Structures are given as structure tokens and as C-alpha cells.
Structure 1
Amino acid sequence: MKSPAFTLALLLLFGCAEDPTALGDASTVTDAAGSDAGRVDAGPFVPRDGGPPAPTDCLGEALDEVFVLVTDLGGSAQSHLLRFDPEALRYTVVGEVSCPLDGGFLRSMAVSRDGVAYATDNRGNLFAVDTDDASCRATDMETEQEGVSNFGMGYATLGDTTEERLYITATGSWYRDETTPYRRLLSIDTGAYVVSDIGALEAPTPANMELTGTGDGRLFGMVVDVRDLRNLVITVELLDADTAATLERKRVNLEARSGFAFAQWGGDFWLFTEAPDGSARVARFDWETGEVIDTIDTALEVPGTIIGAGVSTCAPYDLI
């Protein structure tokens, strides 16, 4: 039997209307310290100034939303793909994700502007998931390139062009020898499935790091410092996508129980974790002020924890 501490470490390291697939009541809002503020109407979210218009090459309205990966680590290891609408604060099931796994489980995800959600498992395999129906296929990417076996991932454009790049981040963890910590920013060419090293990250060891990006070329990382499991430290960092240097860092006042995922949308960051009662919690973080604006808890109707999130560079990104 796994101890609670082991389960937490595992999760951190990897890590309704008329529509029958629309899930949950997302009206429980808590403050930044995590205290229950009662049952209130969270109301619709309005992005800052509406954000810039979506690029014309984006395929479909769904790419304006955030996709999340829910994996049942405590049971079947089955995963589901869901959409999260930050305006309506609702989750919608896309489908069950059945990738050809070899005993592993899915743990991170990034979404391209052409509607492909690239997902990785705990062994470093890369899969392509269709955001329309959650169908999954294996890719030809060889594992262990540049010594990477576990990684977080996210897309950002190259400057203000429509060309984008899939970035991945590998940080030291219990899966590697702590005497030789691994903290690197890399990229994946999804045409040739070649991994290229970019540079060293300024991250603690052990820690976990996920990525998200914008349509104007900015790349951000969410870092969970797990050196002390009783006192987890979460930061959001603006990264130099060319060198891996941290340009700006802000600490997030958020209690993380388990789960580990985030995405930018509409001028804020949306950090996904698990609430004390086991429901899905998403915290809305204001980059400008460095404050958690509110948190929304939702009881999902699929088993598991949100451990992956991805948003395409088509989404609004009016960050300060």
C-alpha cells in the first residue's frame, strides 16, 4: 500500500445543461489562502480588453479553450481528454484517451494550433491525440534523446508570427540520480521528432515544471519545488525561449494537494490542482499583480486527477 506522501510525490512529479458531457458545478470559489468563501455565482470571465483577435490559421473555436488531461493514477491509469471553458468555467468531456501505452500512464500535454494534443507518458513516449474525438496514435519519436525521459511541455509562437515550437522541460526528480540533477529546456521538432537542447533552467532539484506559451512568442513555466513535501513552493516564471534563462519570477500563494498542470488564457494563468475533497481545483493567477484572484472547485464525472493541461497559441493572450 502506498503511503500518502508517496502518492503526493507521484502526482506532483508526473507531476449539466443540455449537453450530457458538460460536467460539474463550478460555483465554489475560495480565496488565495484556500479558505472556503461559500457558494457563490462565479460569473463569466471577461479577458483583459478581449485580447488580440485569433489568428486566421487557427482551426475551430475549440482551440480558444483550454484542454486538460485527467488520469486515474489511483486505479486504472485510464485518461480522459476534457475541454475547460474559462469564460463559462465549465468542463466538457471530449472522450477517453486510449493510447498504445506499454504499462505507463499519460502525464503531460501540449496543444498545437492545428488541433493536435501531444501527450507524453511517464516513460518519455510521445503520442498525438485528436482534440476533436480524443483518438490517439503513437509517434515515431525515439525516447531518451538528450537524456530526457520525463518532461513537461507547451507551445509558444516564434515571436509574433504564426510559426510555433513545442518546448519541453526536464527537471531533476526521484527518477534521476540527484547527484547529477537535470534541469534543461529543450524543443521537439514534430516533423522529424528530434529533440534539441536549448539551455539550463534555473530550477531547484527535485522539482517539476510545466510550460505554456502565447501567440506573441512568450514562454512561461510553472515550477513546483518539492524538496519539502510539507511546504511546496509554486512559482510562475517568464522564460527566454532562446536561452532558457528566467526573465521574471512570481510566487503563487496556492496550496497544492496533488495534480500539476497550468495554461495561460485571456490575460491570466489557470493553475490546475486537486482540492482537499478530491474535486478538481483551478486557480486563476493574475500575472500583473502576482495574486490568485479566485479558485474554482468542480466535481468531475470522470475518475482521476488533472495532471496535464494545454492551450493552443490561438487562445487570447493579452498578458501584461
Structure 2
Amino acid sequence: MRLGARWLTILLPLSIAAACGARSGLAPAPPDAASDAGPEDASADQDATADVSEDVTPDSPSDAFPDLLVDGLAPCDPEDLFVYLVTSEKDFYRYDPASGEVKLVGALDCPVDGNPFSMGVSRLGVAYVVYRPNGLGATPPGKLFMVNVENAACAKTSFEPNQHGFKLFGMGFALNDDGQGETLYVAESGKPGADSLGLASIDLGSFVLTPVGPFSQNPGNRIELTSSDDGKLWGYILDPAGNGGYVAHIDKHTAEVLAVTPVAAGNDHAFAFAHWGGDFYVFTSPSGGPTKITRYSPADGSTTVVGSIAKTVVGAGVSTCSVK
């Protein structure tokens, strides 16, 4: 396995042109996939269906998580420069934006009575997945787990839910300013109709959540995070009025929203967000159904539907490694 070898050595307002086409027929998601809160999408257009490969060769979970903390910035494995996706149905996928291929890595078997809510991926090949309660409500929101991106093996963390009122949150890693490490940032997801509590970071050594502050502009209660190769932090915010969403440049030190760009990527029930190769990818699912993949290109301000997945994507993560 590529991951084993690597881990043994460590561990703006713009006008947007939207493109859309005919939705291809996809299988509906299970009933519990529809409980990830967010406004419902008014659009059902879709251009393409991503090529999904379901070859799964899991490793033994017993050796899936060697030492995860390193001094300085962990090296990148060029074989792992993908976007990883988690669904409400607990499937874990690898998405290659260059080819459009979506590969099923495996099904999550985390020891929790709930469903994934959001995800961030470190450059060590570890995904951090936060869970929400299922319909039974037996599990408190905010349980955080580690997932091996190579085989979908899952392990508990010592993170205590509801620190500083952050029960559920969007997630994304960003490079530190000195280039000597990376930090996991989270944006609290408030109740429908309530503003987010703001931005925080999680120390992956102690699993202590430290608030950064409230957002200077707060157009919605659901915010997903990602970062660009230069360490800038970005958020995708659904428009509560039902007019797509916004790509927001966020100061990771102060939570100030520096610029907001409207993007016609749907107004949806479940969504995820990732930056890859200079473009942003927005994954949106109306009413807990199949997921549409939309690419937003800041270079020309265009949005293009580039694929779809039959499951309900609720989290996306990509490492802070540079992808050219």
C-alpha cells in the first residue's frame, strides 16, 4: 500500500456563468440520507455521471493508524492527490477531478450510532469525519473519527463533542503561515434560521477546540471549508434565500470574511466543498438524493456541472498538498 510506506517514515463579487444539462437517472438514496440539514435544491439539472469503480481491497484496521503527529510539514505522496468524499450512507469515495473517476474505497464502520456530517483530510492520508445523530437520536452530535483514506478503516478520537457550543461543523485543513504544518479549521453549523457561531480550530494532539471568532459576515448557518495551495481558507455557504451559494475567502486568524462570490451551484439539502488544481468543486444533493458535482473556476468565473454520484455526499476533503 502507498499509505503504509509513507506512514512508516512519519506520518470579490464576480458575475458567474452557469452551465447545466439533463439529469441522468440515478438510484435514490436510503431514507436516513435525508437528515443532513440544509435548504432544498430547486435545480435538478446535471451534465454527466461520474465513472464509479467499486474495487475495494481493505487493509487490516489493526495497523491502519501509526503515529499521526510529526514535527514540521509532512511530505506529500503524489499518488494520493485526490478529493475524498463521504456520504450519508457511510460510503467513502476517492474522486479524481482530472479524469472524473469516482472510486469506492470502502464502507465506514465507525463505532457510532449515527451518520457522517462533514469531513476534512490531512496530508498524512487521514480523514477526520464528524458524525450527526441518526433518526433514533441515540448518539450526541459531534463525535469525531479518524478514517484511513486508503482502506476506509475507522478509529475513535478523544475529541469531546460540544466544545464551546460547536456541536456540528464543516471542516477543512489549511497550511500554517510559516509553512511548517497545517491546522484543522471548523465552522459551526447552527440550527436552521440561526447564524453560525463562527470559526474554530482543533488541535489534533489534544483534540481541544479553540474558537477563532464569529464570522464578520454571516449569510447562512451551514458553512463547509477548504483551502487553496497558498494556505488561504475558503468556505462555501448556502444562500438561505434559495439562490445557490457563496464562495467566501475567510481570514483564518480572525474569521473576517474578506470576499464573497455568488456561485450558481444549487441550493441543496446536503453539500460538500473542496479546492483542487485551482478550481473549487461543490457537491450538492437535493432532498438527500443523488449528488451533483459542480466546478467553479475563479479564473473565468464559470460554473460547470462535471459529474454526479448516486449517493448523498455530505463531506469532501483534500490534502493541503499542491496539485498543479
Distance apart, 1:173 and its partner CA: 1.6
Counterpart in 1 of 2:12? Answer: none
Cα distance change, pair 96–14 in 1 and its aligned pair in 2 (3 A): farther
| Residue number among 139, 159, 173 corresponding to 1:141 in the alignment | 159
Q: Distance in 2 between matches of 1:118 and 1:277?
A: 22
| Residue number among 123, 128, 139 corresponding to 1:113 in the alignment | 123
Q: Find out whether 1:213 has 2:238 as its counterpart.
A: no
Distance apart, 1:253 and its partner CA: 1.3
Cα distance change, pair 69–36 in 1 and its aligned pair in 2 (3 A): closer
Counterpart in 1 of 2:203? Answer: 189
Q: Distance in 1 between matches of 2:212 and 2:191?
A: 20
Distance apart, 1:255 and its partner CA: 2.1
Q: Distance in 2 between matches of 1:68 and 1:217?
A: 21
- Please give the residue correspondences for 1:11-50 in structure 2 after superposition, counting only pairs within 5 Å: 11-13=36-38
Whether contact under 8 Å (2:196, 2:218) holds in the other structure is: no
Q: Find out whether 1:307 has 2:314 as its counterpart.
A: yes
Counterpart in 2 of 1:98? Answer: 109
Gapped regions of structure 2 (runs ≥ 5): 1-30, 50-71, 133-140
Distance apart, 1:207 and its partner CA: 2.2
| Residue number among 96, 100, 116 corresponding to 1:89 in the alignment | 100
Task: Name the SS of the counterpart of 2:80 in structure 1.
Answer: helix
- Please give the residue correspondences for 1:1-320 in structure 2 after superposition, counting only pairs within 5 Å: 10-13=35-38, 57-72=74-89, 79-101=90-112, 103-122=113-132, 123-159=141-177, 161-174=179-192, 178=194, 181-204=195-218, 206-226=220-240, 228=241, 231-274=242-285, 278-292=289-303, 294-300=304-310, 304-316=311-323
Task: Name the SS of the counterpart of 1:146 in structure 2.
Answer: coil
Instruction: Give TM-score, length-normalised by structure 2.
Output: 0.73
CA distances 1:35-57 after superposition (whole Å, capped 9, x unpaired) = 56689xxxxxxxxxxxxxxx994
- How many residue pairs are counted as aligned between the two chains? 263
Gapped regions of structure 1 (runs ≥ 5): 1-5, 16-32, 40-54, 73-78
Distance apart, 1:9 and its partner CA: 8.0
Q: Distance in 1 between matches of 2:106 and 2:114?
A: 19
Whether contact under 8 Å (2:108, 2:154) holds in the other structure is: yes
Q: Distance in 1 between matches of 2:39 and 2:154?
A: 20
Distance apart, 1:259 and its partner CA: 2.2
Q: Distance in 1 between matches of 2:111 and 2:186?
A: 21
Cα distance change, pair 257–197 in 1 and its aligned pair in 2 (3 A): closer
CA distances 1:139-176 after superposition (whole Å, capped 9, x unpaired) = 001111111101000000012614100000014223xx
Cα distance change, pair 313–199 in 1 and its aligned pair in 2 (3 A): same
Q: Distance in 2 between matches of 1:276 and 1:170?
A: 22
CA distances 1:204-259 after superposition (whole Å, capped 9, x unpaired) = 46521000013321000000133x4xx24400001101000011110001223432
Aligned partner of 2:120: which letter? A
Distance apart, 1:203 and its partner CA: 4.7
Whether contact under 8 Å (1:183, 1:202) holds in the other structure is: no
Cα distance change, pair 80–282 in 1 and its aligned pair in 2 (3 A): same
Whether contact under 8 Å (1:222, 1:235) holds in the other structure is: yes
Distance apart, 1:296 and its partner CA: 2.2
Whether contact under 8 Å (1:279, 1:297) holds in the other structure is: no
Whether contact under 8 Å (1:183, 1:203) holds in the other structure is: no
C-alpha root-mean-square deviation of aligned residues, in Å?
Answer: 3.1
